[in-house]
Each structure stands twice: as structure tokens, then as C-alpha cells.
Structure 1
Amino acid sequence: MFKALAGFFGQIIYIIYDIIPFEYCKYGISLIIFTIIVRTLMLPLAVKQIKSQEKMNEVQPLINDIQRKYKNDREKLSQEMMKIYQQYNYNPLSGCLPLFIQMPIIISLFAVIRNPLTYMLKGKEIAGYVINQSTIENLINKIPEGELIRGYEQVSAALKFNLIDFNFLGINLGMVPTINRGLLFGSEMSTYLPLLIIPILACVTTYISSKMMSVRNAATKKDKKNKKGKRDEKDEALESMQSNMLLIAPMMTLIFSFQFPAGLGFYWTVSNIYQIVQEIVIRKYIRKKKEG
């Protein structure tokens, strides 16, 4: 399923790439347009998820009270929590559904951005372009993902197509970022040094996006103290876990950005920026609707 989706998304990206009338930064612009299209199509899921989070924010203080009151009576605790859910028409699993639906899409996109030639170009097109062994070697040297082309030794040039230009504002999105000093400050400094911008932007935007996604309002924070004014151990543990997650996500993004072509980190950056703006607009709309 993931391979089929990846092939479908890859063809869409290539169609966008192909119809862009100018040559400059085509691959990067294609990723930006594709990200906006995908994120916009997933907007109803995002709205549903944010609404669920807002509802959770509303009922969380009541749930905390019930958990403290009936902490030694699990049956009564379950009954009271069900009453709260019914009263506020809240389903604790409703916020998870959009995430489950998005996972196949995200995994497939990961494959496309990681190996653009594999999913964006058809085998017969590559075969039509590759005429002899010297052409094969040139392609392999030029493009990191060129391993796909190995094996085509003698084929006729029946089809012509333009190879993907991974350059975007002086950054080769087909190259893998590195922290190798020899590459960063050696003869290829102009190629590898600008690549560092991508992992940094991906990491920073992931942190901002994760920070905004962690729902905490004043009422919930205030409720983290019990009637004696002491902090509840369970709340402390939860808050600690949330703080750790805010750091883990950006760090994982940073690590992966140094393992795969810069196009992946670029996609994450664009996607995160879209999500940040989306979060601000949707939450503002929902709260304005409540007040009105």
C-alpha cells in the first residue's frame, strides 16, 4: 500500500515539477506546492483534531477532580468519567483518528522525498534516456539516488525528459547534509555548507510546531495543584513527559535530516510552517466562534 501511495505522490510531484514554466528552483517549488496541496486536503482532519484538543482542555479540570476524588475506587471513577464525556459530548479517542489516517500518507511521502527519482520518474523514461554506459555513470555521479539507473546498459532513446534539478536557492536538495569538517570547509564547501541550513530549520520549526500542539490553557495549569496547594505527583510526571517530548521530536528530526537527502528536511520545514500558521488560524477561529 505504501509503495503504491508513494508512486502516486511521486507522479503528482513530477507533474507539478513539469508544468512549472521556469527552470529556477523547480524541485523546491514543487515540494512547496505539493505540501500545501496535501496539507490543505488534510485540513478537515486538522480541524477535527484541534476541536478535540479544545474540548479536552475544557473537560480536563473536571477529570482531574474526579481522578483525585475516586482514586481508590476505579469502578466509580470510570462511571463518573463516562458521565463527563456524555455531558460534554467528548470522545477521548476522537483526536487520535486523524493521526491514524495521516500515518500512511506521511510514511509514503517520506519514501518519495527520500528517493525522488525512484517514485517521480518511470522506469521506461529512464531507460529511454540512458543510451550507454558512460551516460549511466554520469547520472550516477550527478544524482545521489542514481542507483536506480544501474543495469540499463544498452537501450534506445525512445523518450526524452529533463532530469530533476535539485537546486533550490543555491542548496542541492538531492544531497545529504553532513557535519564532516573536511566536506564543510574543504574544496566542496560551497555545496555542503549551505546544506546545514535545512536540518537547522527543520529542527527549529519542529520544536515550534510541537510547542504549539501541546495544549495547555490557564485553567488546566491552575488545576495542577490540589486543594492543599501541593503539586499532584501524577500531574508532575505528565508535565515532565510532555517537556521531554517537546525535545525528542526536534532532536529526531535533526538526526534524520542528516541521514537522508535535504529534500526531506525541506519538506518537514515547509510542512511545519504550514502547520504553525494553520494552528494559529484554526484555534483563533474556534475560540472566536465560542465567544460569539
Structure 2
Amino acid sequence: MFDFLGSIGGAIMTPLYYFTSGIVLAWHWLFEQIGMNPDGGWTWALSIVGLTLTIRAMLIPLFVKQINSSRNMQLIQPQLQELRKKYGHDRERFAQEQMKLFQETGTNPFSSCLPLLLQMPIFFALFRVIDQASRNGAEGARGFLSGAQAESLANAEWLGGRIADTFMSSEHLETKIIAMTMVIAMCATQFFTQKQLMAKNMPESALNGPFAQQQKILLYVLPVVFAVSGVAFPLGVLVYWTTSNLWTMGQQFWVIRNNPAPGTPAFKAKQERDQAKGKTVQPDPALPVETETEAQRLKRQQPKKQTRDQRRKSGSPQPKQAKPKPKPNKPAQEDPDE
């Protein structure tokens, strides 16, 4: 049974070994052509960075879909809350109405996980390529790696530590320090990327919904998961994941700054920047539209009351005082003695 499952796993991972190692070797060849040492740690580290940039560039269309879907999820939160109030007692009907709303608005609640899920096979393939090279040397070559290239990767030193070593397996203090620094950087970039999204590109109406609660859970759970598992990752894998997080942070910052979701602090900040530059300020579609013009508003406003001294100082004419009405003449009372 285990042999059967192992053969299936090998059939799935083998193409990924060739794909991952092929991109790494292409970047390695490029750096070698510009005069870098083919066995140097920086050459292999930068080749892994090149792998990261290549994969993330290929995932840009999915990232755009992720941003649009996340924005739609934020904007339909008031509608989801209404559905929950209306059909909360009937789960089946609520699920049907919710799916109908997703289809009408073109929202996919699972699209936010697509870039992460699609990177995981590359992540594990790179892990296996580096791990097998470090454990078995030339015999551990995977994909397009030759035996000599596998030994070069296993022995390459970067910043005083070997790229193929992990925090747990290495006995060198330098490697442990570098590995722990990379784990902290990996977790910090993961945390601040998610925090940036929630703080600047989520409307207030969505901060208390179930989608926001899910985001808050991921905000604190994912860094802990990566911190616990990161001590078993080779330095090369940590380089890949930290670079990927930095890419996500920069890409998300650009999208939030230039195309923020309506009704968010980022949208208001963009309006202020456009106004300062003299550009046409786009109204926030998440806010109610004011149909009353400024002239109508001023006309409707009542003048403020002023005291007599204020009117005298401002030079405004004082209202004329009404003349007292003459009292009617009372008939003379007759003298009772007459």
C-alpha cells in the first residue's frame, strides 16, 4: 500500500523536480555567464531568488483575480449580513442564496488561497531538491541537476552557512543564526502583508463579518505555523519563501495604493493624493451619493440669530420695533353717589 502511494507521489513530484530545477539552473547559468563563481553560495542563493521571481511573475494573473475577489468579498459583506439575518435559521436556503450572490457578483471566496496553494508544490519540490542534494550529494540529484551540480548546491556557503543546512540539522552557530533570522523575516513579512490588507483595504462594514474573522485568524496562525516548521527548512527554501513574501508585500502595496477598494482608508488616501495633484477626484462608490446641490443647501439653511449688539457692529439694519397698540379707552365709571 505504501509503495503504491509512494509511486503516485513520485509520479506527481517528478515533473515538478524538472520544472523547479530547470528554472534554478537557467538563472544559475545566467549568473555564471556574468562572471560569478558557479560553486559560490551567492550564485545559488540568487538563482533561488530568480526562481521565486519567475514563479511570482507567472502568478500575476491569479493575483489580480485574488485582489478582485477579495474586494468583492468586502463589498458584499452588508448583503451577506442581510442574508444571514433573513435565512440564518435555514442553512440550506442561506447556502443557496449565498452561492447565488457569489455568482451574480463574480466572487470566489477561495480565490484568495490560490496563489499560496499553487506555490506549495514548487515549495515542496525545491525543498526535496535541496534536501536530497544535502543528504546524498551526487546520488541525490533531482530533475535536471547533475551529480556535480547537486554536490555544488549541497556544499555552497552563503553568509557563513550552507544553503542546504537547516536550523535543526546544522551544528554551526553561524548557520543557526542565519536560519533563525530568515525564519523571523519570513514570519514578519507574512504577518505585515496580511495586516496591510486588513488595515488599509477593508471597509469598516467588513471588519466585523465572518470574512474578517477568517482573515484575523490567518493573520496570527500562519506566522506561527511557518515559525514552527521553518526550523526544518534549508536556508535555500527560506530564501525562496521570504523573497515570495516580499514580492507579495510590494505587489499588494502597489495595488492598494493605485486601485484601492471603495469605502476603505486606502481609497480616501488616494482621493486626497489626487486632490493635492489637481486631478479629478473619483467619488467613493461605497458612500451614498448626495443629490442636493450646494446652492440648495445654502438656500435651505436658516440665518443664524444675532443679538442687537452683533447687528449694530456688523452694520446690518436693525429690525423696526413695532409700535405699541393704543389701549382702548375704558368707559368712565359712574359715581355711585350721583
156, 171, 186: which one aligns with 1:202: 186
- Counterpart of 2:235, as a letter, is A
Q: What is the one-letter code of the residue matched to 1:35?
A: T
Match of 1:106? 120
Q: CA deviation at 1:203?
A: 1.6
In the alignment, structure 2 segments of 5+ residues that lack a partner are 1-11, 141-146, 268-281, 284-338
Secondary structure at the residue paired with 2:181? helix
1:177 maps onto 2:150 in alignment? no
Percent identical: 21
2:135 counterpart residue number: 145
Q: Secondary structure at the match of 1:174?
A: coil
Write the mapping of 1:35-46 to structure 2, written as runs, cut at 5 A.
35-46=52-63
* Residue aligning to 1:285: 258
**For the structure 1 residues 47 and 6, does the alpha-carbon distance in structure 2 shift closer, same or farther, using more than 3 Å as the test?**
same
The letter of the residue matching 2:129 is: N
Contact in 1 for aligned 2:187/2:223 (Cα 8 Å): yes
Letter matched to residue 261 of structure 1: P
Q: What TM-score, normalized to structure 1?
A: 0.68
Query: 1:114, 1:147 → 2: CA distance?
Result: 13
2:86 equivalent among 69, 78, 81: 69
How far 1:195 sits from its partner (Å)? 2.8
Counterpart CA distance in 1 for 2:148 and 2:212 is 57
Tell me the distance in 2 between the aligned counterparts of 1:191 and 1:72. Answer: 57
1:207 alignment partner, SS class: helix
Q: Does 1:4 align with 2:18?
A: no
The 1:67–1:37 alpha-carbon spacing in structure 2 relative to 1, beyond 3 Å, is: same
Larger Rg: 2
Query: How far did 1:49 drift?
Result: 0.8
Alignment correspondent of 1:218: 204
Which amino acid in structure 1 is aligned with residue 18 of structure 2? G
Cα distance change, pair 27–68 in 1 and its aligned pair in 2 (3 A): same
Shift of 1:115: 2.6
Q: d(CA) in 2 for partners of 1:240 and 1:71?
A: 18
* Partner SS, residue 108 of structure 2: coil
User: 1:206: how far off?
Assistant: 1.9
Shift of 1:108: 3.2
Q: How far has the Cα of 1:73 moved from its partner?
A: 4.5
Contact 1:177 1:199 in 2 (8 A): no
Counterpart-to-counterpart distance in 2, 1:278 and 1:78: 33
Residue type of the alignment partner of 1:170: G
Query: Cα RMSD over matched residues?
Result: 3.4
Measure how far apart 1:44 and its partner are: 0.4
Counterparts of 1:42 and 1:147, CA distance in 2: 32
**Does the 8 A contact of 1:144 with 1:174 survive in 2?**
yes
Q: 1:105 to 1:2 in 2, by over 3 A?
A: farther
1:1-35 CA deviation, whole Å, 9 max, x = no partner? Answer: 33212222112201211220212511111111111
Amino acid at match of 1:219: S
| Alpha carbons 1:114, 1:264 under 8 Å: kept | no
Q: Which amino acid aligns with 2:187?
A: C
Residue 228 (structure 2) aligns with: 255
Q: TM-score, normalising length from structure 2?
A: 0.59
Q: Which whole-Å deviations, capped at 9, do the CAs of 1:125-155 have from their partners, x for residues lacking one?
A: xxxxxxxxxxxxxxxxxx73335528xxxxx
* Mapped partners of 2:157, 2:67: distance in 1: 36
Q: Which residue of 1 aligns with 2:108?
A: 92
Distance 1:104 1:220 in 2: 27
CA distance in 1, matches of 2:194, 2:102: 26
Change (3 A) 1:80 1:261: closer
Equivalent position SS for 1:144: helix
Q: Is the 8 A contact 1:10 1:116 kept in 2?
A: no
Q: Secondary structure at the match of 2:202?
A: coil
* 1:176-234 per-position Cα deviation (integer Å, ceiling 9, x unaligned): 11499xx4xxxx4334333321111112112223334556322323xx4xxxxxxxxxx
Quickly say closer, same or farther: Cα 1:145–1:68, change in 2 above 3 A.
same
- Which deviates further from its counterpart, 252-261 or 267-276? 252-261
Match of 1:167 in 2: 157
What is the count of residue pairs matched by the alignment? 238
Aligned to 2:177: 193
Conserved? CA contact 1:115–1:145, under 8 Å: no
> Structure 1 pair 163/244, CA: closer, same or farther in 2 (3 Å)?
same
